[in-house]
Amino acid sequence: MTYRFESLKVLVVEDNQPMLELTKSILQTFGVGTIFTATDGEQGFTIFCQSNPDMVIADWMMQPCDGISLTRRIRNDKRSPNPYVPVILMTGFSEKRRVIAARDAGVTEFLVKPFNARDLYRRIVQVIEKPRQFVRSEDFFGPDRRRKRTTAYTGPMRRKDDDRPAMPAPVTPEDIAFLEDGD
């Protein structure tokens, strides 16, 4: 058995035309059936609303509307047909504070450029096999920003709410590593 990507709809938003074509070609090689493209966040949001793709792959740095703004609109705009859609953000930035900014905007996965075909594939597998629950609080809506529990307790769980996720914890280096590595 292998993945059947032919029914998958992916939106790629990238202002660099050669990069857009390259990403599209890789996805076609993966067997993705429908690929929509846009060259900035504004156009990307319009196409997103029209086509309701299963996944969005967007570049960070675009003019006039960048990948972070696009993600915020996907998550919070009333016109968004699916605020839960996985967003993979491509960028040349890999610094912690940039990664955290992306995470806080509601990005699902972070893909540092330059990347190879398997890097992109791993991010796609991550959103398929390990989808993240969403969190809605007063000031945030997006994928749960925690990647793993930090408690060292390994004994039996007896409280009624033990199976409920804990309150969001402060960012740790592990969070960032997970967000970057997608493991």
Partner 1 sequence: MPVDIQHYNQSPRRNAEFIKPPNMIKAKVGTGGLSDAILDRAQKLLENTTVDFAPLAEIYLASMMKGIRRAQKPEPDDDNEFLIAGVLYPCAQLKANGGMFHYPLVTRIADRFVQFLEVVDQIDIDALEIAEAFHTTIKAVITAKIKGDGGKHGNELVEALNDACMRYFEKNKHNLRQPEEAEF
Of the candidate spans 25-33, 72-80, 102-110, 151-159, the one that interacts with partner 1 by CB under 8 A turns out to be 25-33
Q: Which residues pair with 110 in a beta bridge?
A: 89
How far CA 102 is from CA of 53, 66, 99, 145, 153, in Å, comes to 21, 11, 5, 11, 31
In this complex, which beta carbon is closest to partner 1, that of residue 47 or of residue 62?
Answer: 62
Query: The tokens of 6 are what?
Result: 């032919």
Report 61-120 residues binding partner 1 (CB under 8 A): 61, 84, 86, 90-93, 95-97, 100, 113-118
Give, to the nearest 10 degrees, the angle between helix 96-105 and helix 173-181.
80
Cα 47 to Cα 53: distance, rounded to the nearest angstrom: 9
**Could you list the residues that contact partner 1 (CB under 8 A)?**
1-5, 7-8, 16, 18-19, 21-22, 25-26, 29-31, 54-55, 61, 84, 86, 90-93, 95-97, 100, 113-118, 121, 125, 127-129, 131, 133-138, 144, 164-165, 167-168, 171
